[in-house]
Amino acid sequence: MKRIETRENEFLVQFRTILQNSFPPALDFKVDYYLGEDKGVRGLYFTMTSRFGMIFTRVKALESGQVVYDIEEEFMNAVINDLIMNGVTLLNVNAFESVNLAKVNKEVKAKLFRHTAPRKFLFLN
């Protein structure tokens, strides 16, 4: 992986501040957003790491003739959506676990569970 240009935007600044204010510094969260090249393919890279390793990564390749500004807004929207869905999934799993773990297991394994749209999206991830 070759880093070409580090990118910054308002979302990154706010996201880093939220991480610093919400979690202990010992977790050492780092958020990185850059234009890079891997095996001859240029693209945007968003990574989130902690002292335990990689937590989240998202990559969007630039197609021929495209510039960063062509895909940046769509890419950042996808990153934000992924982070929100991961957070919602974690919160829902924690809420179910606090109720009764046996009940969660029974509901997830039920045939109807997979066909209920909100549950389907949350637990298939």
Q: pLDDT (tens digit, 9 = 90+) per residue, 83-125? A: 888 876 666 666 666 666 677 677 767 776 655 555 545 555 4
DSSP element (H, E) containing 41: strand 41-50
| Distances from the Cα of 33 to the Cα of 50, 79, 101, 118, angstroms | 15, 11, 38, 31
Enumerate the domain spans of the chain: 2-124
Burial status of residue 104 (CB atoms within 10 A of its CB: 0-12, 13-18, 19 or more): middle
- Quote the pLDDT of residue 32: 92
> Can you tell me whether residue 35 is helix, strand or coil?
strand
Tokens of 13: 């600044």
Average pLDDT for residues 38-56, to the nearest whole number? 89
High-pLDDT (> 70) share of the chain, %: 75
pTM of the model: 0.69
